[in-house]
Amino acid sequence: APADFVRTIGEALRKRAFTARFEVSAAEANNIFTVGRPLGEMERPGALLLPYCAKLKGCSLRYTNGCSRCGLCSVGQAYDLAERHGLTPIAIQNYEMLEKELAGLQRGGVRAFVGSCCEAFYAKHCADFERIGLPGILVGLDSSTCYDLGQEEKAHRGEYEGQTELNLKLLGQVVEHLTDDGR
Protein backbone atom coordinates (compact mmCIF):
# COMPACT_ATOMS: atom_id res chain seq x y z
CA ALA A 1 0.00 0.00 0.00
CA PRO A 2 1.19 3.57 -0.60
CA ALA A 3 1.06 4.41 3.12
CA ASP A 4 3.39 1.50 3.91
CA PHE A 5 5.83 2.67 1.24
CA VAL A 6 5.84 6.23 2.62
CA ARG A 7 6.31 4.93 6.18
CA THR A 8 9.24 2.74 5.06
CA ILE A 9 10.95 5.62 3.25
CA GLY A 10 10.40 7.89 6.27
CA GLU A 11 11.92 5.30 8.58
CA ALA A 12 14.96 4.94 6.31
CA LEU A 13 15.47 8.71 6.33
CA ARG A 14 15.20 8.80 10.13
CA LYS A 15 17.81 6.05 10.41
CA ARG A 16 20.12 8.01 8.14
CA ALA A 17 19.73 11.03 10.44
CA PHE A 18 20.75 8.83 13.39
CA THR A 19 23.98 7.73 11.68
CA ALA A 20 25.00 11.36 11.12
CA ARG A 21 23.78 12.82 14.42
CA PHE A 22 25.04 10.12 16.77
CA GLU A 23 28.03 9.02 14.67
CA VAL A 24 26.82 5.43 14.67
CA SER A 25 26.81 2.71 12.04
CA ALA A 26 23.69 1.86 10.04
CA ALA A 27 23.36 -1.35 12.09
CA GLU A 28 23.45 0.64 15.33
CA ALA A 29 20.94 3.14 13.93
CA ASN A 30 18.51 0.24 13.50
CA ASN A 31 18.47 0.01 17.31
CA ILE A 32 17.31 3.61 17.82
CA PHE A 33 13.59 4.47 17.71
CA THR A 34 11.96 7.88 17.99
CA VAL A 35 8.66 8.59 19.69
CA GLY A 36 6.52 11.67 19.15
CA ARG A 37 8.81 13.82 17.06
CA PRO A 38 11.74 13.55 14.67
CA LEU A 39 15.28 13.41 15.97
CA GLY A 40 16.10 16.95 14.88
CA GLU A 41 13.24 18.34 16.96
CA MET A 42 13.93 16.29 20.11
CA GLU A 43 14.32 18.43 23.22
CA ARG A 44 16.65 17.76 26.13
CA PRO A 45 15.41 14.67 27.98
CA GLY A 46 14.61 14.72 31.67
CA ALA A 47 14.46 10.99 32.39
CA LEU A 48 16.11 7.69 31.52
CA LEU A 49 13.64 4.80 31.47
CA LEU A 50 15.09 1.32 31.92
CA PRO A 51 13.42 -2.11 31.78
CA TYR A 52 13.38 -4.20 34.96
CA CYS A 53 14.39 -7.21 32.87
CA ALA A 54 17.91 -5.76 32.54
CA LYS A 55 18.41 -6.12 36.29
CA LEU A 56 20.18 -9.21 37.61
CA LYS A 57 17.76 -12.14 37.96
CA GLY A 58 18.44 -12.49 41.68
CA CYS A 59 18.52 -8.78 42.48
CA SER A 60 16.44 -7.80 45.52
CA LEU A 61 15.50 -4.61 43.63
CA ARG A 62 14.53 -6.32 40.36
CA TYR A 63 10.82 -5.71 40.83
CA THR A 64 11.12 -2.22 42.33
CA ASN A 65 12.16 1.17 41.02
CA GLY A 66 15.72 1.68 42.15
CA CYS A 67 19.24 0.32 41.90
CA SER A 68 22.00 -0.26 44.47
CA ARG A 69 24.66 0.05 41.72
CA CYS A 70 26.36 -3.16 42.83
CA GLY A 71 28.04 -3.55 39.43
CA LEU A 72 26.60 -6.97 38.65
CA CYS A 73 24.35 -5.82 35.79
CA SER A 74 24.18 -2.99 33.27
CA VAL A 75 21.41 -1.09 35.08
CA GLY A 76 23.79 0.40 37.66
CA GLN A 77 25.94 1.83 34.88
CA ALA A 78 22.81 3.30 33.27
CA TYR A 79 21.86 4.90 36.61
CA ASP A 80 25.37 6.42 36.74
CA LEU A 81 24.91 7.67 33.16
CA ALA A 82 21.60 9.29 34.11
CA GLU A 83 23.13 10.95 37.17
CA ARG A 84 26.09 12.36 35.19
CA HIS A 85 23.69 13.98 32.71
CA GLY A 86 21.03 15.25 35.10
CA LEU A 87 18.38 12.67 34.15
CA THR A 88 16.02 10.91 36.52
CA PRO A 89 16.53 7.13 36.17
CA ILE A 90 13.35 5.07 36.36
CA ALA A 91 13.23 1.26 36.31
CA ILE A 92 9.98 0.32 34.59
CA GLN A 93 8.27 -2.77 36.03
CA ASN A 94 5.37 -3.28 33.62
CA TYR A 95 3.39 -1.59 30.89
CA GLU A 96 0.96 0.13 33.27
CA MET A 97 3.87 1.67 35.18
CA LEU A 98 5.33 2.89 31.89
CA GLU A 99 2.11 4.73 31.03
CA LYS A 100 1.87 6.19 34.53
CA GLU A 101 5.51 7.34 34.58
CA LEU A 102 5.36 8.91 31.11
CA ALA A 103 2.18 10.80 32.01
CA GLY A 104 3.68 11.92 35.33
CA LEU A 105 6.88 13.11 33.67
CA GLN A 106 4.84 15.08 31.17
CA ARG A 107 2.70 16.67 33.91
CA GLY A 108 5.92 17.52 35.77
CA GLY A 109 7.24 19.52 32.83
CA VAL A 110 9.63 16.97 31.32
CA ARG A 111 9.73 17.60 27.58
CA ALA A 112 11.41 14.37 26.38
CA PHE A 113 12.84 11.08 27.61
CA VAL A 114 15.44 8.51 26.66
CA GLY A 115 14.71 4.87 27.31
CA SER A 116 15.64 1.33 26.49
CA CYS A 117 13.43 -1.50 25.32
CA CYS A 118 13.45 -4.28 22.76
CA GLU A 119 12.35 -3.64 19.20
CA ALA A 120 9.33 -5.93 19.61
CA PHE A 121 8.09 -3.90 22.61
CA TYR A 122 8.50 -0.68 20.65
CA ALA A 123 6.65 -2.13 17.65
CA LYS A 124 3.81 -3.40 19.83
CA HIS A 125 3.43 -0.14 21.78
CA CYS A 126 4.42 2.49 19.19
CA ALA A 127 0.84 3.79 18.96
CA ASP A 128 0.62 3.87 22.78
CA PHE A 129 3.77 5.99 23.01
CA GLU A 130 2.32 8.38 20.42
CA ARG A 131 -1.02 8.54 22.28
CA ILE A 132 0.67 9.36 25.60
CA GLY A 133 2.44 12.19 23.82
CA LEU A 134 5.80 12.56 25.57
CA PRO A 135 8.52 12.60 22.89
CA GLY A 136 11.52 10.36 23.33
CA ILE A 137 14.22 8.17 21.92
CA LEU A 138 14.40 4.47 22.68
CA VAL A 139 17.54 2.36 22.35
CA GLY A 140 17.15 -1.35 21.65
CA LEU A 141 18.45 -4.02 24.01
CA ASP A 142 21.63 -5.95 23.33
CA SER A 143 20.34 -9.49 23.96
CA SER A 144 17.47 -11.96 23.66
CA THR A 145 14.20 -10.69 25.07
CA CYS A 146 10.91 -12.02 26.39
CA TYR A 147 9.47 -11.65 22.88
CA ASP A 148 12.26 -13.80 21.43
CA LEU A 149 11.43 -16.45 24.04
CA GLY A 150 7.63 -16.23 23.71
CA GLN A 151 7.18 -14.86 27.25
CA GLU A 152 5.79 -11.41 26.49
CA GLU A 153 2.62 -11.96 28.56
CA LYS A 154 4.71 -12.58 31.68
CA ALA A 155 6.75 -9.49 30.88
CA HIS A 156 3.62 -7.37 30.38
CA ARG A 157 2.66 -8.24 33.96
CA GLY A 158 6.22 -7.58 35.20
CA GLU A 159 6.89 -11.27 35.85
CA TYR A 160 9.52 -12.11 33.20
CA GLU A 161 12.35 -14.03 34.85
CA GLY A 162 15.01 -13.74 32.13
CA GLN A 163 17.70 -11.09 32.04
CA THR A 164 18.43 -8.75 29.15
CA GLU A 165 21.43 -6.51 28.55
CA LEU A 166 21.29 -2.78 27.96
CA ASN A 167 23.23 -1.51 24.96
CA LEU A 168 25.24 0.85 27.16
CA LYS A 169 27.52 2.11 24.39
CA LEU A 170 24.65 3.24 22.18
CA LEU A 171 22.54 4.42 25.13
CA GLY A 172 25.49 6.52 26.28
CA GLN A 173 25.96 8.06 22.84
CA VAL A 174 22.28 9.01 22.63
CA VAL A 175 22.19 10.48 26.15
CA GLU A 176 25.41 12.44 25.61
CA HIS A 177 24.22 13.94 22.32
CA LEU A 178 20.77 14.87 23.64
CA THR A 179 22.05 16.39 26.88
CA ASP A 180 24.98 18.30 25.36
CA ASP A 181 24.24 21.97 26.03
CA GLY A 182 26.09 23.00 22.88
CA ARG A 183 23.79 21.16 20.48
Crossing angle for the helix pair 95-107 and 119-132, nearest 10 degrees?
40
State the pLDDT at residue 25.
81
pLDDT tens over the chain, length 183 residues: 676 666 667 666 676 777 777 777 878 888 888 899 888 889 999 999 999 889 998 999 988 889 999 999 999 999 999 999 999 999 998 889 999 999 999 999 999 999 999 888 888 888 999 999 999 999 998 765 656 556 667 666 666 677 888 999 999 999 999 998 544
Contact of 29 with 54, CB cutoff 8 Å: no
State how far Cα 8 lies from the chain centre. Answer: 21
Q: What is the pLDDT of residue 29?
A: 80
For residue 130, being part of any structural domain is answered with yes
Residue 153 lies in a domain: yes
Is 96 in a helix, a strand, or coil? helix
pLDDT, position 95: 86
Within-domain flag for 16: no
pTM of the model: 0.84
Range of the domain at 78: 30-179
Q: What is the pLDDT of residue 182?
A: 41
In a domain, 151, yes or no: yes
Are 45 and 113 in contact by the 8 Å Cβ rule? The answer is yes
How many domains does the chain divide into? 1
